Amino acid sequence: MSTTSPDIEDWNDLGRTIRERRRALSLTLVEVAAQVGLSQPFLSQIENGRARPSLMSLHRIAEALGTTPQAFFGGAIDLDAGPVVVRSDTVRELNVGDVPAESICHVLLAGEAPFHLVEFDGLPNEFLEYFTHDGFEATYVISGRVEIDIAGVVTELGPGDSISYASRLPHRHRSLGRRRASMLLVETKIESIKDSSAGNHAAARVAVDSGAGEQRPA
């Protein structure tokens, strides 16, 4: 009987999926590590399930492999299988940045679903890197106060507020005030029926005009 915990199995599965996709693209560990700014030993540990990447690191890896972080978790969706329940103690959890527990990302619905559902428990107090990817995105604030920077335009949101945007626009979030902020993020794969241009899901370093405007709620 196996003594491997479901949590360990999740990270082994994640690493295996990354390794298989890298090899399918005929990329070496050294090549991918250099592209994403990680050491080759650390990337090897991720692929072997011995290290847990942050969400930011996973975005960079996904960019290099031409996919999304959510696609690394879970597989195909069987639309004829009926309802699928995900219990709270089985939800995949990632630290967003390098500070443990400052901001935690719960991947609620991933794999090949037509949309992805992600919960953020806590947000960094300072903006991190921009994200940009195909599709359309909506952010709903559950608690606390949040600033969202979309291509240099900053909007403040409070509990019950939401904002939606084309996710190819560089975007990032941060917390305001002392109260721990939480929010729900919904990502779809389709931005517009008329939009046929392509892009990659990535954590992007984007230069933004410092003179860009700022939006505040009335």
Please report the pLDDT score of residue 120 as a whole number.
Answer: 95
pLDDT per residue as tens digits for the range 140-155:
999 999 999 999 999 9
Please report the pLDDT score of residue 41 as a whole number.
Answer: 95
Residue predicted with more confidence, 195 or 187: 187
Number of helices followed by number of strands (H, E) in the chain:
4, 12
The CATH architecture to which 6-72 belongs is: Orthogonal Bundle (1.10)
Please report the pLDDT score of residue 75 as a whole number.
Answer: 62
Residue predicted with more confidence, 124 or 196: 124
- What is the model's pTM? 0.75
Rounded CA-CA distance 19/22 in Å is: 5
Concatenating the DSSP letter of every residue in 10-31 gives HHHHHHHHHHHHHHHTT--HHH
Question: Domains of the chain: which residue ranges?
Answer: 6-72, 88-215
Cβ contact 22:61 at 8 Å: no
Residue 7 pLDDT level (bands cut at 50, 70, 90) = low
Question: Does the pLDDT value for residue 205 go beyond 70?
Answer: no
Please report the pLDDT score of residue 77 as a whole number.
Answer: 66
Burial class (CB in 10 A: 0-12, 13-18, 19+), 167: buried
Residue predicted with more confidence, 160 or 113: 160
One-letter identity of residue 119: E
Domains 6-72 and 88-215 share a fold: no
Please report the pLDDT score of residue 113 as a whole number.
Answer: 78
pLDDT per residue as tens digits for the range 174-190:
999 889 999 999 988 76
Does domain 88-215 correspond to CATH entry 3.40.50.1820?
Answer: no
